[in-house]
Amino acid sequence: MSEHRTGAPGQVKEVTSLANPLVKDIKALALKKFRDQQNAFMAEGLKLVIDALDLGWSIKTLVFAKAGLGNPTIEKVAARTVAAGGTVLEVSEKVLSAITRRDNPQMVVGVFSQRYLPLKDVRPRDGDVWVALDRVRDPGNLGTVIRTVDAVGAKGIILVGETTDPFSVETVRATMGSVFAVPVARATTEAFLAWRKGFPGLVAGTHLKGAVDYRSVDFSGRPVLLLMGNEQQGLPDSLAESCDRLLRIPQAGRADSLNLAVATGVMLFEIRRGALTLGAEG
Ligand code: SAM
């Protein structure tokens, strides 16, 4: 295969130059501005890419290391990419390292279209659990929450206000693939508050000044929206006042608060306590 500078989708190209425009476009996905311009994001690893395709995500480009040539699983994924109208790039290790900014990159990288669930389409039913994150800043926290939402079988996440990007490389890495399984909606605080008025179940906020022990609440039999505060400031009054209950996780020791992702995990496992049993995985 020869190196092409540009090309129509649905093709396979061999690329060894960092100056190749297709490579430059993918490298640019490290920055939010270009992710938004291209409406795209990057996910690393063969398993993740297969999971994403199985879940119906739209692949724009599949990048794989030359060393993957002849690997039947990679070739199958490449064929699926071409069939979906995507482009397949067979690249040198140097190019893959530059794209992922890692010395020992995964053999496969997928570039996918971003996808948000419109807030109006979040219509919870009994037993459904949603998590709303107020101005979450840290990509590691957001990725960990997405992974935990997936693990407990909650339905999805609503990002409220200015938040870190769910499609940044750091966030996607921290989700360990759950970014493809968990619907994410986003809203301004005002839009969220308007939508919240129609929420048919319990809106449970968490707050360091909450008067109610989170273990004393019966979460069963109704939709639950768990509202978590910003890492530095916690929930602002407007959001705290919109909650049916403000719950607290009792603490001992010197720490003022729990890490946001840890607090979300503690809450989610309590809310989903009755739904989770050993042997139900899969
Ligand atoms: N300085 C912030 C404050 O005053 O709220 C700390 C925020 S904490 C790092 C981030 C979020 O995690 C909080 O807004 C709350 O939603 C949740 N959180 C952490 N520890 C908690 C606890 N012990 N009880 C209830 N919520 C907690």
Where exactly are the structural domains of the chain? Answer: 12-113, 119-275
Q: 12-113 with 119-275: one CATH topology? A: no
**In terms of Cα–Cα distance, which of 199, 213, 201 is closest to 246?**
213
- How far is ligand 1, taken at its centre, from the CA of residue 260, in Å? 6
pLDDT for the residue numbered 6 = 44
Tokens (6 digits) for 135: 């101005």
Check pocket membership of 236 for ligand 1, CB cut-off 6 A: no
- Residue with the smallest CA separation from ligand 1 atom 19 is 258
**Complex ipTM tops 0.95:** yes
* Superfamily of segment(s) 12-113: Ribosomal protein L30/S12 (3.30.1330.30)
Fold of 119-275: Alpha/beta knot (3.40.1280)
Tokens of 275: 């739904």
Q: Give the CA distances from residue 20 to residues 14, 62, 70, 95, 104, in Å, rounded to whole numbers and listed in that order.
A: 10, 15, 24, 10, 21
Q: Which atom of ligand 1 is nearest to the CA of 259?
A: 9
Q: How far is the CA of 68 from the centre of ligand 1 (A)?
A: 45
Q: What percent of the chain has pLDDT over 70?
A: 95
Please, where are the H alpha helices in the chain?
A: 21-27, 32-38, 46-54, 72-83, 93-100, 139-152, 169-175, 189-196, 237-240, 260-271
**pLDDT tens per residue, range 42-98:** 999 999 999 999 999 999 999 999 999 999 999 999 999 999 999 999 999 999 999
The CA distance from 163 to 131, in Å, is: 14
What global pTM score does this model have?
0.94
Q: In angstroms, what is the span from residue 233 Cα to ligand 1's centroid?
A: 8
Interatomic CA distance for residues 102 and 269, integer angstroms: 34
